Amino acid sequence: MTASNQTWHYQTAANGVVKKDADGKFYEEYAWSGMISDGAAYSLPETSHKFRQKLSLEPDVSLSVPDLSRAAAKIIGPITDFLTIYGDLWRR
């Protein structure tokens, strides 16, 4: 993902795996890595390496904001931006 938030520019990778929950609904589970913040490499803390974002485009699965307390401050923007992208796709 490459994006800008006012004067902040960043790039980061969201690596996903498709899974199926106990009810047979598909979802994607994403891990974040390789962040570049304003042109400089940014090492995500260990808690952010373990953080997984669960998203789904299943029509009867509601999207929700994940527990951001486990994510580094710099990765919260990309996480919520990605949630917005899924939300826009989900509504269609």
Structure tokens, 16: 């996903």
Kindly compute the dihedral angle of the four CA atoms of residues 56, 61, 65, 70, in this order, to the nearest 10 degrees: -70
Give the global pTM.
0.86
Domain count, the chain: 1
Distances (CA, A) of 70 to 1, 35, 49, 64: 20, 17, 10, 15
Domain residues for the domain of 66 are 2-90
Q: For the segment 4-47, what is each residue's pLDDT rounded down to a tens digit?
A: 888 999 999 999 999 999 999 999 999 999 999 999 999 998 88
